[in-house]
Chains A and B, each alone.
Chain A
Amino acid sequence: MTNIPATGRTPRVQTRLVIIQILVLSLLCTLGGRLWYLQIREGAHYQKQASGNHVQQVVQPAVRGAILDARGVPLADNETRLVVSASRTELLKQKDDGKAVLTKLAGVLGMDVEEVMQKVRLCDSKTPQPCWNGSPYQPIPITDEATPKQALQIRERAEDFPGITAEPVAVRRYPGPGKSNAAQVLGYLSPVTDEEIQRAKDTDSPYLRSDMVGRSGLERQYDRELRGKAGVTRYEVDNLGRVIGKAKSDPAQPGSTLVTSLDARVQRIAEHELDKAMKAARTQWDRNTNRRYEADSGAVVVMEAKTGRVVAMASAPAYDPNVWVGGISAKDYRALTGKDSNYPLLNRAIQGQSAPGSTFKVVSTAAAVAAGYDFNGKYPCTSSYSVGGQVFNNFEGESFGSITLGRALEVSCDTVFYYLAHTEWKKDGGINPKKNPKDHFYRTAHQFGLGKRTGIDLPDEVTGRVPDRRWKEEYWEANKDAWCKTGKKDGSYVERIAYENCLEGNKMRAGDEINYSIGQGDTLVTPIQMAVIYGALSNGGTMYTPTIGKAIISPDGKRVTEIKPKSHGKLPISKATLKMMDEALEGVATRGTAAWKFAGWPQDKIPMHAKTGTAEVYGKQTTSWLTTYTEDYTVVMTISQAGTGSGASGEAVRNIYSALYGVQPDGTIDKKKALLPTPQKGLPKIKPDGSISAPKISADPAKELEEAAKQATQQPTQPGATPDTTPDGGQPPATTTTPPTGNRATRRRARRGGSRRMIA
């Protein structure tokens, strides 16, 4: 084979054959190289593409867990509704972007064409609600109230409604048991946004496109627990989408059930009483502003004193939480967030803040004791107190002579605290303070937990404010330019204030500390903060972190995770002082500023403690505060622009207690009618199948109670019970035996500087 034959083997041909051979080899090497590049170097990339190619996901949404009250009554659950949705991608494929289909759909659903159009447009910075803020690839719900007939019309004529689906879907429902509302506490849901999906992508609870997410209240706080996990079945499909195999199937895991410490009945009564008190206040004449009280907003908290568990929490104005279900309409959204709405979405129990007024005096008393003043020492309660030519009046110019701190609390004597605060201010160096001023009054406020969140299990709690030196400095830094620009020495009141603030707004002035000592001025507190403080006064000094969630129960009922009460500190007062303050606060309810509202109360059986407060708000009517506690409960109510604490809220708070303990109008206790004579212990019963048994609840516990009270008062059971109308308390108290004392009108006193905050 080595011979080279004579014919056909010219060197030219030989060379060309070698060239051909090399060419062939190089072509094959090119193929091999390219094959290596695709399969080995880029293999992972193509593997991902291949799996994306042939796997289709079918998502079964998880049923969201219910929110129950302490006895198992559902406050939020789910119901099946017929949801009509539109697919944007399908609509945009049509010639007119689906306008014709949507118009036809609006006709079938009996809706406004424009409304339907608005619902399917995408939200952006320029598009107001209603609009879709979910993924554009996800079906957009148009209505969740389709009738079976409408759904059938759409489904039977599918070719007329391309991109439109009508399917039964579990939607959130807020049943409002016993007419309770609790809208702000429960919160609401809205579709998950793209950002949230991105953020939660690599966590162990990723979102699905179709997920609804808790946006406020408990729905947001416990979103992870309530949401469960959507089931995903991955099907292998071929190029035409035909299923050729089931790759993986994760069944949907329903969300856990949240048991709260709320009691739907008490919640209803608290809401009803708050509403009633606000309506009553609006009929009252405010002598200071010469118009009726506005009573524009208010809040009430009912809390277990020994655990911090919230039994009821109401905020006014309220709204119907069901407006969010299935997407909110433009009108509803405006009503909730517009300028004239008065912001019903705010939970004023944790997000409303105002000066505490005299309810703050427990802090000042503790501060005085900490500063070395004897609780039982005698301090002058004069009708006025003057500092450097400025006169600070006691409330209505009353004077009580020399009294103890306890008595000062009872009668809410301002001048005693003026004197103490001023003396301490001077000790700290006055307007030019020492290097490390003791600042007892401010330090104590911080120790009482003011100026920071209580840590309640609700989102977006506000901190309130302790207007101490540091705050003044920061506030002045932030505002001095504006003050110095507008301030005039001899200008209007506002201009004079600005002028003063410009000069020395960063300094703690005598007037600042004097005003502060009785809870006026720049101090801001929330109702929940006051509930924690008065709860601690009740339980011996432990400040419990308020909680609404009580337990999380797995959907099968087998795993129960209790949310245990947690303390976040102790009140900075000794047991002895605490006892004396406790006595003084009982005195407030029996012979002090709140006594006229608690007449006939079975004090021997259920010792009532109270403190009233009336906070001034610049340019507005006064904010009323009433902080109360018994052995087991603390109830705090505040109403903005409603006058005095006892006048505006006394009755309402008393009614709440009466309902809890079963106190009858005649002062007797009917244990059978008591809703919660002692705080609810334990959790609702879990049935073997994992469901939770709920007791029956009357249609409206508040109405029932009122009916019972009406019947009782119609038969005079108490001698000397005379209907009494007080100058500012037109609402007839249930029973009164003692004449009203003091605190009947709002206070006005010389005020200097600082900014005024209204209840938010």
Chain B
Amino acid sequence: MTGANSFSVSGYGPERARWTRLFARDSPARRLDWPMLLSALALSLIGSALVYSATRNRTELNQGDPYYFLVRHLLNTGIGFALMVGTIWLGHRALRNAVPVLYGISVLGVLLVLTPLGATINGSRNWIALGGGFSLQPSEFVKVTIILGMAMLLAARVDAGDSVYPDHRTILQALGLAAVPIVIVLLMPDLGTALVLVTIVLGVLLASGASNRWIFGLLAAGAAGCVAIWQLNILDEYQINRFAAFANPDLDPAGVGYNTNQARIAIGSGGLTGAGLFKGSQTTGQFVPEQQTDFIFTVAGEELGFVGAGLIIVLLGIIMWRACTIARETPELYGTIVAAGIVAWFAFQCFENIGMTLGIMPVTGLPLPFVSYGGSAMFAVWVAVGLLQSIKVQRPMSA
């Protein structure tokens, strides 16, 4: 597959110079969703400032180099951006053919994590160390491949015009496809990612037009599953503690409740305009653990205040709003399902991540899209943006 191939559907002759074509009326560049793209870029750049603020004094983490995390965050953003461009270039339809392979690789990845190759961080066996200080979090990519895989299965017959809605068999297949990595992720155990995946499944099913019985049945099954997990003591102690601390943050301010308390103090003390970048005492004093990753929003809250933290929420909102619009406006069910799956993913992850720093959600280890430090997560969300852009760009013209 080549770029020329993927762009050929736009109807422009190959004789025109690529530059002119790129910005001509109705050109792919013109049809890119710029608000989404710029929002994602802005978030990544804000994120790099916040990551720098949170890590420049953490000598035990940055190996004496205050720019260690900043440089890496920018690098990750660059790689992510490139992945997005590549995704657009290839196009989501072209990628559709590669979905089985990608899905397989990603599932293999999460399986590898369970082997001695995996590394345990914060009680979760979630990583594959690549050596040289690099590591990979395959569960981030599973988020993408689950969406693509389910979309491929569910949309195949509908997009072919064979049926209006996916049939039960297809739905069962799709659920089976999702269940495999979800179970593996739960075994890690990475409850946060598992919840994201479940939410993605729900979003995908909703968008696929599966009957209400499936939706409510799945919700009921999910609830039953939660009760079962609780009753069977499948959760590790640290996970139970997180829920307990969520229910009552004053329970053990030195222990489990510490994170949430300090996070809330950091955000609350920001006020309207914040302490100023690099001037937050909570951040400088390193009172909030995991601040460059899961608790990055507290840096924004403290140093940028309501204005800055609110801006992050607004930018995330723009991305999701645009994604929703794309889902509604794309003609193929495949594109709709992919866009809706990404919306479900982003929405849940944003709400959970910001919500836990604000004390309205229990603490789980989920990064804030674009903003948190972390390569795999960054790559995954940029690929998602690439998919969304591709869906928008490759939409057939009305003409």
Binding site for B on A (CB under 8 A): 1-3, 5-10, 12-14, 16-21, 23-25, 27-28, 30-32, 34-36, 38-40, 42-43, 45-47, 49-51, 53-54, 236-240, 244
Q: List 11 A-B contacts (CB under 8 A).
A: A6-B331, A20-B340, A32-B310, A34-B355, A36-B306, A39-B301, A40-B306, A46-B264, A46-B267, A53-B265, A238-B57
**Cβ of A46 and Cβ of B328 under 8 Å apart?**
no
- The answer to whether B281 and A24 touch across the interface, beta carbons within 8 angstroms, is no
Partner of B268, one of A17, A24, A45, A240: A45
Per CB-CB distance, the 9 closest pairs between chain A and chain B, nearest first, are A46-B268, A5-B331, A8-B333, A50-B269, A238-B285, A21-B324, A43-B271, A39-B306, A47-B269
Please state if A20 and B207 are interface contacts (CB–CB under 8 Å). Answer: yes
CB within 8 Å for A14 and B328 given contacts A28-B317, A53-B287: yes
For the complex formed, measure the closest distance between the CB of A9 and the CB atoms of chain B, giving whole angstroms. 7
Residue picked from B262, B281, B336, most chain A C-beta under 10 Å: B281
Q: A-facing mask of B328-345, CB < 8 A → 1, else 0?
A: 111111111000100110
Q: Does B354 contact A (CB under 8 A)?
A: yes
B266 interface residue per 8 A CB criterion: yes
A623 vs chain B, min Cβ distance (A) = 65
Asked whether B313 lies within 8 Å of A24 as measured between CB atoms, the reply is: no
Contact pattern, B 220-253, Cβ under 8 Å of A = 1, otherwise 0: 0000000000000000000000000000000000
Beta-carbon nearest neighbor of A51 in chain B:
B281
Residues on B lying within 8 angstroms of A by beta carbon are 57, 155, 158-159, 161, 164-165, 203, 206-209, 262, 264-272, 281-282, 284-287, 301-302, 305-306, 309-310, 313, 316-317, 320-321, 324-325, 327-336, 340, 343-344, 347, 350-351, 354-355, 358-360, 396, 398
A720 to chain B, nearest CB (A): 91
Shortest A44–chain B CB gap in Å is 8
A35 to B354, CA, bound (A): 9
A20 x B287 contact (CB < 8 A):
no
B360 with A34: CB separation less than 8 A: yes
A27 touches B347 (CB 8 A): yes
Known contacts A39-B306, A236-B285; A7/B332 CB under 8 A: yes
Chain B residues with CB under 8 Å of A31's CB are 313, 350-351, 354-355, 358
CB distance from A547 to the nearest CB of B (A): 51
Which of the residues A1, A46, A49 comes within 8 Å of B329, measured between beta carbons? A1
Residues on the B chain within 8 Å of A46, using CB: 264-265, 267-269
B40 to chain A, nearest CB (A): 16
A30 to B286 CA separation, bound complex (whole angstroms): 28
* Residue among B335, B347, B359 with max Cβ neighbours from chain A (10 Å): B347
CB of A663, distance to nearest CB on chain B (Å)? 73
**Please, which residues of chain B bring their CB within 8 A of the CB of A53?**
262, 265, 281-282, 285, 287
Nearest CB on B from A241, distance (A): 10
Do A43 and B272 touch (CB < 8 A)?
yes
**Closest B residue, CB atoms, query A13:** B209
Known contacts A8-B158, A13-B209, A236-B281, A32 near B313 by CB under 8 Å: yes
Q: When the two chains form their complex, are residues B287 and A7 in contact, meaning their CB atoms are under 8 A apart?
A: no
Q: Which of A19, A23, A38, A53 has the most CB of B within 10 A?
A: A38
Residues of B within 8 A of A1 (CB): 329, 398
Docked complex Cα distance between A49 and B358 (Å): 16
The answer to whether B206 and A35 touch across the interface, beta carbons within 8 angstroms, is no
Q: Is there contact, CB below 8 Å, between B331 and A7?
A: yes
- Which residue of A7, A12, A238 is within 8 Å of B286 (Cβ)? A238
Asked if B269 contacts A244 (CB within 8 A), the reply is no
Contact A38:B264 (CB < 8 A) given known A17-B336, A31-B354, A239-B286: yes
CB pair A47 B268 closer than 8 Å: yes
Q: How far is the CB of B105 from chain A (nearest CB, A)?
A: 28
Do residues B306 and A50 form an inter-chain contact, with CB atoms below 8 A? no
Contact of A35 among B281, B306, B344, B351 (CB under 8 A): B306
Contact B285–A54 (Cβ < 8 Å)? yes
Given contacts A7-B161, A31-B355, contact A2 B267 (CB under 8 A): no
Most buried by B among A39, A40, A46, A47: A39
- Known A7-B332, A32-B313; 19 more pairs at CB < 8 Å: A5-B331, A5-B396, A10-B165, A12-B165, A13-B207, A13-B209, A16-B206, A16-B207, A17-B327, A20-B340, A28-B316, A28-B317, A30-B360, A31-B313, A49-B268, A50-B268, A239-B285, A239-B286, A244-B285
- Tell me whether B301 and A35 are in contact (CB under 8 A): yes
CB distance from B138 to the nearest CB of A (A): 27
Q: Are B267 and A17 in contact (CB under 8 A)?
A: no
A50-B265 contact, Cβ under 8 Å, with A13-B336, A18-B328, A28-B317:
yes
Q: In the assembled complex, which residues on chain B have CB atoms less than 8 Å from the CB atom of A36?
A: 306
* Chain A minimum-CB-distance residue to B267: A38
Task: Please tell me which one of the listed residues A8, A12, A32 contacts residue B159 in the complex, with CB atoms under 8 A apart.
Answer: A8
B332: chain A residues at CB < 8 Å are 5, 7-8
